Structure 1
């Protein structure tokens, strides 16, 4: 017995000592640490509430395990709230009885305003990590801290996603609460900035019965809009999609995009039957960057969840739990800062609040706590914890696709408004965007891989013009055997090619000719376009020009043809038939320059050859003048050295012949071009001539060109004559304005190209080209099909081969490339003539060389003449100063000077004779 007792003592004594040591340690820690009580208000029975409660508990444990030296400790008090009333009761209990210094929650969005008001009255900060209305802000409520991203920020990601797929009309389905309504304004504004219109809004009450929700969904099915943006919490959202699936609205052609309110907590219903009905939807949710801490926490969280509830099928960790975890760490850091700097503020409060009216400032550290929380920055499980204006700094959003019972991220959206296929790990968000703006493959509702067009498009009623002429664009042919009408033409084939290039293929259509009982066009093109306004046509396809005044009542696609209005006029042939054509190569100033150079060369040679024995320039003055003018021609016809005697004269002769050869070569080439190339000159080159002379002008019947001629070019209506066919164009132009025809026809370039393809040898385009936007397809104002068909036309034009084949089929040439003039338009004759300015350099060189040769050749004459004049002046001056006695001396001097001059003259004669003999011997 004694041994048994001793054994018991040895067994229990260590246990008792351990318990005693533990109690002493707890007691000492309690004495050395200051306790701060915080409250949490949410529904612990819900999936989101259970996750939040577990994450908060783990956050407190993890924080103080890592910071065991902290002097403060958070004590959590959780209260369950399932509705607005229970939330108010729970908050009052925490403030009056527990005297908490901070409140986490609430989970119910509509309860947030009440909780914030109570917290502000008690100076207790309210930290929310659940969805709240964007209307609530820290600036208006100083004690409210949103530890999440603002819901209104996600609208930019939503708008970018919708724009990425080209959806321009959406239906907004939201929860009929303050939380649901709070995003309407920001969403509408963001969509309008991206040219997206909210076609309809539907509010669904959170307390609505299933039959009421089904009735609203059936009403939506009657509308043509098929893109729905859903903004509601998890309980209502899961019911909505289950009923939408039963109503047949989760089939091919429907698009569902859910906001973060439902997307962030989608894991809560991932294992339920509801997720099956949500297959194919797109979602926008906050992006959580991967990290080792997050992976470690996720493993511990699952382990703890399994220990607490082994039979649970599993509840996935969500972003709200991570925000709750990070909020506890931020709150603990802030409390420690207050405790270290001023421990007296953490003393237990003794004042008890008895009712709401007496709820005053129950927290001594509330104002300081709010300030410290706003200054806390650290890297948490959800990413960077950094509060800006009382809420988490905006970050990246994920775009995901629900597939089966799972989900797949198909892309990302970053604050710089870019959509990316993926983010590279380990890089900053600013540098992590890939170059591709494409998303991963998406499985849409109904297991479709084709991007839905976003509208339920009925069979399109397409109006087409009825044309008498220019049937290359639109033509109808009726089969007498089958009584079926086939529609052909360039415009029709371009429309069909665009249909094939669309992102969706399920558009059916039927052509309706715009004609009267006689089978003719039932009015003008403007009248045909007004049928769209009157909802008789859903579109107009044909050679319809995009004009500014038409865009007020219809929308056009991008043009599929070239643009511009210009003149079509007859041409004048055969300038070589002119008897004076030999004068055309040179302009008058060049002719004058050549003539002046002829005379200049003759004068130079005359001066240089005059003192020689060259008899060509001897004789009477008339003969010498004639030789001066004749010599340049003789030098070209008889290029012999015997024409001149002096060496420098020969030098001038070489220069002159070189100049003449260059001019003759250029003249010959220009004249040959004029004689061999048929010059086509328009009979009318400008509109001013038509207006001044009152000429008749033609235009296509029913076209906008008539209004253009009246309003823009200011022609009189009496001058205008309408025509229908290419043959009528030809007949009117061939007659001319003097014989009952017209001087010109104004038409759009595509029509002129067709005309010139048949009558190109007789007519040409002339005058300026007045720009228009070309041909396009017309749709009702605001039609989403405009953007789809514009992109399709762009694809067809970029493809090139399709358009080339169509142009070759109907026109025999490519006409869609925009040109500025017809290739048959020749350059005006005056602009082709050679001018003196083109040869100014050559004339200057020849002139300088000739003058230099003249100066060198006649330098003896140039210098002797001034010397002789000086001598004569000096003799006369001396004679006037001499007396009568010296007269003989002066006479003698004069006689001596005369003898000297005679001797020099005789020497000059001998030199000339000698030169002549030398020339003869040569």
Structure 2
């Protein structure tokens, strides 16, 4: 009763009773208040409640204020069947479980919605929850964790503060919090403890630039109770139920202030707050319910006057018809829509405030329909400018590198024996400093530059004690990060499910997948490539023989077929010659496994485990570190100590084929992965910002970084086709030229044989010398050649020898006989010329006239 809150609420009750019955002078009932002091003690509160019930036969009790006191009194009210109207907001106290409990304010869990939306709005990924011990604080803990989980924010730590702890204990706890990286704190405490707490926050330097403090409604509503002389809460954010401004509220505030000052002239600090205004409306609602109950029970007065026996508190009887009237009622009060449903006052709109100076500045609103908005009836999302701790308007990122390691972020990098285009760690022999280069390093540096804040870091190679050799595989490096050996990992680290169980990856910045590198066969070098456009069956079909008139009819149809075949053949051959058809020697990893051949992989890569899962044994697996080793192993093949294929990730394959495109290709069978990503410990607040920066770099800078480190491929790894195909060479036409050469050679040999046979007498003659024979043969060849040309130009010109041969031939004799058989009526005429030719030969001229 002597506290500022007690004085304020006592005044509100008195004004409410006076205002109500001034407006309702015709009512037959009137509230007669009895006041008892709980003395801020649970037992005293319970004792006072029993006294009111037993000695004054009260029909309802307003209070107590705290959740711990209310817990005792509500239990007594349930047994005595007396409604307990309390502003206790702890979710552990439920009007549903305790039917005689009516909550004068909204459930404290409801305020978690606007608090969560504020945290989500500023994209803070981790928070620390500070709460006061007792019913008030403990009841909110599980609900707070669940609210954070729904928005993807992790509760990194929970600090419970007992009201009786010393200031030194609070200081020690704050220094522990300061060593953590989280800089967003949500405080759920009552004014007395909160005032001590925030003074120590200032002493530890935690109310400075970079820190975020959010307070719950119970404290926001009572900020005026805190000592603002040292401005210990500057920049704090708070949430509170919103009361719309009205003339009635303004008038009540003036009248309350005048009456309070007249009652307590010595108390100049106390101000009217939300709890007092709600109490005013509660009295109005209770008075209305009492009058309504009186009308219903005017004939039951004797029951109310009956003596109560408190020897057994469980038998306490009082009026119960009042209960349903105060558990559900609604009217327009000072707080606006004063609506009680199932024993709980409803609240739908919250105001978000920023503590500045000695007061709070509204910066926005939250309601279920529109979320966070700058104005109440506006759908414009966001908040007005906030003044943060340290008197800055720069939005805190919500975390900092811990004090014990604040200077630099330790970045682990793999030590590679080859493929230095991706990442390369070298020690400068003169300065002894680590020099990091490579594609992955450039991407990370670009990501750091894209962050909205500076990120101090240093690279630390993952090496053994000798400082030169790798300390383990990539999986070992990931495990080292999860154990706290590093603060992050940068390199060609593939995002895998089993690794994600230990660390958290950013979004990927390379293409994803695993495939095979195999030797290829170039179809253009095939001797019989000109036969490829048509299958064997089609070649055979094109040789159909024409032997009859019906066949000749069919030929007419075949003309169309020939045209189609010719066009198709030309197009297919052209495509085959101009666009290289590169076929891998192996198309599937299962084919290699079935043949028992060997497969290579990059040293330290997870691909080894993938191959083992596919059924390969250790004898079949071989690891390599450089592309030169890849080339040599593939060239040798499994039979000669090499491998039949190399399984690797797409970024490495692209780079390899850019250099060795002539001899190798990539199979189309691809095993899916997520690509390369940067790794951080689980729960790291950097993940969100770095992933966002990765997207920015991928969209704007990745092409330039890629071109800087990797030469443009001269072929397409998928098809094997070169970007700039080579011209056609002799290899593409060996088959055609082979057939041409063979037929030409055969014709030449036949001609020579025939020529020598015709001149065999000269060659076998013994009357001439060799030189004479050569001269005769040469002259005979020249005559033979000239005669052959002459015959082609004048078929009637013939040598005597040829004529003799023709006239003496059996064909001519048969022709004479056949010719005589024709009659003139048949349309044929035969004539015989007696013209002498060299006096020994007659030429028969047969003319077919029809």
Provide the TM-score with structure 2 as the length reference: 0.76
Residue 120 of structure 1: how far off its partner (Å): 3.4
Residue 96 of structure 1: how far off its partner (Å): 4.2
8 Å CA contact retained: 2:106, 2:344? yes
Q: Does 1:451 align with 2:429?
A: no
User: Which of 638, 642, 652 is residue 751 of structure 1 equivalent to?
Assistant: 652
Partner of 2:521: 572
| Secondary structure of the corresponding residue to residue 605 of structure 2 | coil
CA distance in 1, matches of 2:251, 2:653: 75
Residue 167 of structure 1: how far off its partner (Å): 4.2
Q: Against the structure 1 CA distance between its residues 659 and 69, is the aligned structure 2 distance closer, same or farther, given a 3 Å change threshold?
A: farther
CA distance in 2, matches of 1:352, 1:153: 42
Q: Against the structure 1 CA distance between its residues 219 and 704, is the aligned structure 2 distance closer, same or farther, given a 3 Å change threshold?
A: closer
Q: Does 1:402 align with 2:387?
A: no
CA distance in 1, matches of 2:414, 2:210: 32
8 Å CA contact retained: 1:255, 1:454? no
Partner of 1:642: none
Partner of 1:620: none
CA distance in 2, matches of 1:62, 1:419: 37
8 Å CA contact retained: 2:580, 2:720? no
User: Which of 69, 94, 99 is residue 26 of structure 2 equivalent to?
Assistant: 69
Q: Against the structure 1 CA distance between its residues 127 and 470, is the aligned structure 2 distance closer, same or farther, given a 3 Å change threshold?
A: same
Q: Does 1:674 align with 2:576?
A: yes
Unpaired runs of at least 5, structure 2 = 723-825, 827-850
CA distance in 1, matches of 2:228, 2:467: 67
Q: Does 1:389 align with 2:342?
A: yes
Q: Does 1:801 align with 2:700?
A: yes
Q: Does 1:585 align with 2:533?
A: yes
Residue 756 of structure 1: how far off its partner (Å): 1.9
User: Which of 717, 727, 731 is residue 618 of structure 2 equivalent to?
Assistant: 717
Partner of 1:266: 223
8 Å CA contact retained: 1:546, 1:776? yes
Partner of 1:113: 71
Partner of 2:210: 253
Residue 308 of structure 1: how far off its partner (Å): 6.5
Q: Does 1:54 align with 2:21?
A: no
CA distance in 2, matches of 1:208, 1:688: 70
1:494-643 aligned within 5 A: 494-517=443-466, 519-573=468-522, 575-587=523-535, 624-625=547-548
State the number of aligned residues: 717
Q: Against the structure 1 CA distance between its residues 506 and 673, is the aligned structure 2 distance closer, same or farther, given a 3 Å change threshold?
A: closer
8 Å CA contact retained: 1:284, 1:400? yes
Q: Against the structure 1 CA distance between its residues 242 and 752, is the aligned structure 2 distance closer, same or farther, given a 3 Å change threshold?
A: same
Residue 329 of structure 1: how far off its partner (Å): 2.0
Residue 419 of structure 1: how far off its partner (Å): 3.9
CA distance in 2, matches of 1:532, 1:480: 28
Q: Does 1:373 align with 2:326?
A: yes
Q: Against the structure 1 CA distance between its residues 57 and 803, is the aligned structure 2 distance closer, same or farther, given a 3 Å change threshold?
A: farther
Q: Does 1:732 align with 2:628?
A: no
Unpaired runs of at least 5, structure 1 = 1-42, 426-431, 603-623, 634-652, 827-909, 911-922
CA distance in 1, matches of 2:209, 2:531: 79
8 Å CA contact retained: 1:394, 1:415? no
Q: Against the structure 1 CA distance between its residues 508 and 477, is the aligned structure 2 distance closer, same or farther, given a 3 Å change threshold?
A: closer
Q: Does 1:824 align with 2:776?
A: no
Q: Residue deviations 1:824-859, cap 9 Å, x none?
A: 369xxxxxxxxxxxxxxxxxxxxxxxxxxxxxxxxx
Q: Does 1:690 align with 2:592?
A: yes
Residue 790 of structure 1: how far off its partner (Å): 2.8
Partner of 2:726: none
Q: Against the structure 1 CA distance between its residues 50 and 548, is the aligned structure 2 distance closer, same or farther, given a 3 Å change threshold?
A: same
User: Which of 792, 811, 818 is residue 710 of structure 2 equivalent to?
Assistant: 811
Q: CA RMSD in A?
A: 3.5
User: Which of 214, 236, 244 is residue 171 of structure 2 equivalent to?
Assistant: 214
Q: Residue deviations 1:638-679, cap 9 Å, x none?
A: xxxxxxxxxxxxxxx4x6645543443333222222222222
Provide the TM-score with structure 1 as the length reference: 0.71
Residue 737 of structure 1: how far off its partner (Å): 3.5
Partner of 1:145: 102
User: Which of 194, 204, 214 is residue 237 of structure 1 equivalent to?
Assistant: 194
CA distance in 1, matches of 2:64, 2:225: 18
Q: Against the structure 1 CA distance between its residues 455 and 758, is the aligned structure 2 distance closer, same or farther, given a 3 Å change threshold?
A: same
Q: Residue deviations 1:364-393, cap 9 Å, x none?
A: 43x111111123122333243333332123
Q: Does 1:327 align with 2:285?
A: no
CA distance in 1, matches of 2:364, 2:666: 54
CA distance in 2, matches of 1:518, 1:135: 59
Comparing 50-59 and 105-114, the one that deviates more: 50-59
User: Which of 386, 404, 407 is residue 442 of structure 1 equivalent to?
Assistant: 386
8 Å CA contact retained: 1:100, 1:363? no
